[in-house]
Amino acid sequence: MKKYILFTIFLAFVLKANPLPKWKDVFFGEPLNTQNIEYNPIISPNGRYLVFQSNRPGGEGGMDIWVSENLSYPDRTKTPIWSDPKNFRELNTPNFEGMFSILFDEKEKPIELFFTSERLESTDPKKRRDGFEELNIYYTKINSRTGNWSLPIHLNEINSNFDDKMPAISPDGCSLIFVSNRPGGFGGNDLWITKRKDCRIGVWQRPTNLGEKINSSAHEIMPQYHWDGQRIYFSSNK
């Protein structure tokens, strides 16, 4: 967003509060942090990989998605030692890539990735991005045989000619919540949801607004599912 807005984190369902353990904040430092921008970190369930977005040097340009490996894995009793981040070149282009969500399988391996990007004309078929105007949500899945990620696909059934961004895939892969400023909402950026009958390969249904209990005339952004799939977290300046 172009303006700096104060956002508050909300839990979408009322919970009985439990005190959180007191942990000392630890600055990651190098090699995860640089003088550039690093944000939106997602760690794999087993703690082996950390995926984040950054505009650090060495990428494809703009904001890119990066991956770092915990060299202490699988010994989770040790302090993580993070490797030099690698650029996720299968997904990145000279345009913006970020605000992503990863679906893991029962063995905690990544199998699908949903991310935000822009339409891009290119003579390189691996970098060309189809899409509508403004920001779009794209999808890629891993080939279990080769271990390679497929070329990102524009999700026509989800996107519009408005900003569609910040996807959050449910742990079972059946639902996708995302942010959009398309008509039909309550104003500003709203949270929308779409579902697929087959939770791995099915076609996404027409998105519906999550309603006035969550959305407002202000901005609701950055949805995240809880691991149980029954709760969502998001930010709002309502």
Cα distances from 232 to residues 13, 126, 195, in angstroms, run 8, 34, 15
Task: Please report whether residue 18 resides in a domain.
Answer: no
Lowest mean pLDDT across 52-61, 88-97, 100-109: 100-109
pLDDT score, position 72: 93
Asked if 51 and 87 count as a contact pair (C-beta separation under 8 A), the reply is: no
pLDDT score, position 12: 53
Task: Please report whether residue 21 resides in a domain.
Answer: no
pLDDT score, position 233: 95
- Is 15 a residue whose pLDDT tops 60? no
Give the rounded percent of residues in the chain with a pLDDT score beyond 90: 71
pLDDT score, position 68: 95
Confidence of residue 14 (pLDDT cuts 50, 70, 90): very low
Q: Which residues of 139-152 are buried (b: 16+ CB within 10 A; e: fewer)?
A: bbbbeeeeeebeeb
pLDDT score, position 29: 86
Task: Please report whether residue 20 resides in a domain.
Answer: no
Instruction: Give the number of domains in the chain.
Output: 1
| pLDDT tens per residue across span 30-55 | 999 999 999 999 998 888 999 999 99
Average of per-residue pLDDT values in the chain? 89
Instruction: Report the CATH number at residue 156.
Output: 2.120.10
Task: Please report whether residue 17 resides in a domain.
Answer: no
DSSP label at residue 121: -
Task: Please report whether residue 160 resides in a domain.
Answer: yes
Lowest mean pLDDT across 14-18, 71-75, 117-121, 144-148: 14-18
| pLDDT tens per residue across span 117-146 | 999 999 988 889 999 999 999 999 999 899
| pLDDT tens per residue across span 158-171 | 999 999 999 999 99
Task: Please report whether residue 132 resides in a domain.
Answer: yes
Give the separation between CA 199 and CA 67, rounded to whole angstroms.
26
pLDDT score, position 213: 93
Range of the domain at 170: 8-12+28-236
Task: Please report whether residue 150 resides in a domain.
Answer: yes
Task: Please report whether residue 215 resides in a domain.
Answer: yes
pTM of the model: 0.87
Confidence of residue 28 (pLDDT cuts 50, 70, 90): confident
